[in-house]
Structure 1
């Protein structure tokens, strides 16, 4: 029997990545959530009674009035508990708390109060409650000026906007997929947690890296110069730098593609450089007959480039969980490439009347035991 999991705030930054990672697991059934549920009690009650596990991520992080943040976050917890009581259900509830808990601000106090309410609920109902204290998180699709300084800098650097460092302190960071792994381990009871009350547990998650703000900005500016400016992939051996680069790539303007390649021609024929990298990887090429489509899959960590060198192609991309499709038309008479962001399903179709020749580069050689390739139609 599949474990039924609901994620409040599934459309948010952390919620998006957790929801769509859980969707890849065969032993889990996801219970869809919509923010409307918190404004209509009957919808929230219907949601909670379907769940074996609820990951409570819905929260307000920023507002001009801090009291609004506090009141909103506490109210969300209260509504969730009330719905569980109304339906007489006691799912395992995971709560995204914050290191701000210990600080004297209303956001931190809202997290502290939310934890207290859940602990009282678990003691009263015998339901299991686990609080995860989360450090600063970064990753693809974070909102600039909202989720993290990384999201803000990625957006500004990629869009040629001015960046300002107010305090060049050292910050602790965790990549979103590393954080998701913690949530999954708690759900599967594969990680040790600390008991903090009757049926209540806590996991304090430490940052994966501590780094100065200026060092983050320096790396992003290098990515802009090398990658956007010259199409060069950086070295992707360092886990943090690979995570930061994959994050940055998701802020590259859509209009950047397709990127025209330089074609050198003489009496022998022509030469086109497809990719220049500072990292390992796998180069391959394919031929595709007219009317055939390849791909319709996505990756969660791999960097990949499609370069059309002969024939006509339509490359399509769609971010997982959304409906907007990006169309890029390429012609081998003007060689060009499109890079595939992570969490975007993609394909390539021969739309010409001749054979299509495409060269592919990906930063990891294919491993059938860990392919990081998930099939979904664009």
Structure 2
């Protein structure tokens, strides 16, 4: 039985996966020791002296120098030697790759690193969990380096074109937060079996499908809309796209429709969940005085106080309610009831408004009628 790991060493902590993992481990309360490929033997030994878990994430992916793959393997052998020397029999988690079977220097170097670590396991000097990862995506991935997802997000966030050679090319995608959550869960287990492990969910998709989803996010953003995000893949891709935005795109303005009553601003529209807006009204101002056949609205007063009045246009039944920001209350308009809202205070009234459908000027479903 292994006690819960508290000291964790991470190689490759400056890379895409490493940066995300280090933050996740620190959030979970682990003492994280960082190892980079340029570390000296003494620095490696010091980091491993108390480590119960070692994440070996350092690897050459698209090296600029021909010997970087060899240096990556040599670093793994040096790491393995220090793990054995420390004598703690730690859990070693290795981020291998599904591309290990691809002919070439990358596959050969990854296979050699796997073998160096599994030798530790065979000698009883470590428990080795190897992950042959699919294409991992998420925040902080480097465009034109880590994955096509990172490249697409970077370009689309800057209104740059994206290049697609084969839209039908298959992609197996793993979201970075799912991977780091899985690894943190691994550390909470009382025991871990040596061998190959898998993290998930892995999303089987295509280059064209991912490009289409991300392009829709970019287009919707320009139009002030938010598209459907029903699947975990879509939500994860959306977070990745937003994380790729330049600082200049962190904010954007809204159009205020102003008249003597105050102003009205549409915040954003959705394809399946209606429209969100905000409006203001001065003291004593009355808004509304109309009814809907199908449209439903929800009001929330976030500043000031308001009086809502309702009248059933068929039965003439009436209803009235007063609400304020001090006691948050949702007031819902009902089809077939004409309604208005009066600013009953001395301050500006500010209301958030949700409607179950986006406003369509050709079919507004809004009919003037006094309360």
TM-score, structure 1 normalization: 0.67
Residue equivalent to 2:129: 130
| 2:228 matched residue in structure 1 | 235
Out of 219, 225, 229, the residue aligned to residue 219 of structure 2 is: 225
Deviation at 1:283, TM superposition (A): 7.9
Task: List per-residue Cα deviations over 1:93-136 (Å, max 9, x = no partner).
Answer: 11011111222121111111111111112222432111111111
Distance in 2 between the 1:178 and 1:20 partners? 14
Alpha-carbon contact 2:7-2:33 (below 8 Å) kept: no
CA distance in 2: counterparts of 1:111 and 1:360, whole angstroms: 55
- The offset of 1:85, in angstroms, is 3.5
Offset at residue 70 of structure 1 (A): 2.1
Q: Does the 8 A contact of 1:233 with 1:279 survive in 2? A: no
> 1: CA distance between counterparts of 2:68 and 2:353?
47
* Residue 31, structure 1, aligned to residue 25, structure 2: no
Question: 2: CA distance between counterparts of 1:71 and 1:219?
Answer: 38
1:276 aligns with 2:277: no
Which residue does 1:216 correspond to in 2?
210
Gap runs ≥5 in structure 1? 194-199, 286-308, 311-353, 362-378
| RMSD over aligned Cα atoms | 3.1
Instruction: State how far apart, in whole Å, the 2-side matches of 1:34 and 1:277 are.
Output: 45
Q: 1:71-96: per-residue Cα shift (whole Å, max 9, x none)?
A: 12202211211222443333211101
**Mapped partners of 1:256, 1:278: distance in 2:** 22
The aligned residue for residue 87 of structure 1 is 86
Equivalent pair of 1:134/1:206 in contact (CA under 8 Å): no
* CA gap 1:54/1:273 in 2 versus in 1, 3 angstroms: same
After TM superposition, give the deviation of residue 213 of structure 1 in Å: 0.8
Match of 1:251 among 230, 244, 251: 244
Paired residues of 1:59 and 1:72 also in contact (CA < 8 A)? no
Partner of 1:121 in structure 2? 120
Provide the residue aligned with 2:287 in structure 1.
Answer: none
Count of aligned positions: 284
**Aligned partners of 2:105 and 2:274: how far apart in 1?**
47
Deviation, 1:167, is: 2.6
From the CA coordinates, give the structure whose radius of gyration is larger: 2
SS in 2 for 1:145: coil
- 3-state SS of the aligned residue for 1:174? strand
Deviation of 1:181 after TM superposition, in Å, equals 2.7
CA change 1:264–1:170 in 2 (3 A) is same
Distance 1:260 1:253 in 2: 16
The whole-number CA distance in structure 2 between the counterparts of 1:358 and 1:110 is 61
Q: Is the 8 A contact 2:268 2:276 kept in 1?
A: no
Q: What is the rounded CA distance, in whole Å, between the counterparts of 2:140 and 2:115 in structure 1?
A: 31
- 1:279-336 deviations in Å (ceiling 9; x for gaps): 6699899xxxxxxxxxxxxxxxxxxxxxxx99xxxxxxxxxxxxxxxxxxxxxxxxxx
Distance 1:284 1:158, change over 3 A: closer
Q: Which residue of 2 aligns with 1:5?
A: 8
1:1-378 paired onto structure 2 within 5 Å? 3-25=6-28, 28-35=29-36, 38-65=38-65, 67-168=66-167, 169-189=169-189, 200-205=194-199, 208-227=202-221, 229-278=222-271
Which stretches in structure 2 are left out of the alignment for 5+ residues?
Answer: 279-301, 304-346, 355-371
Pair 121,177 (structure 1): closer, same or farther in 2 beyond 3 Å: same
CA–CA distance in 1 between the matches of 2:160 and 2:58? Answer: 30
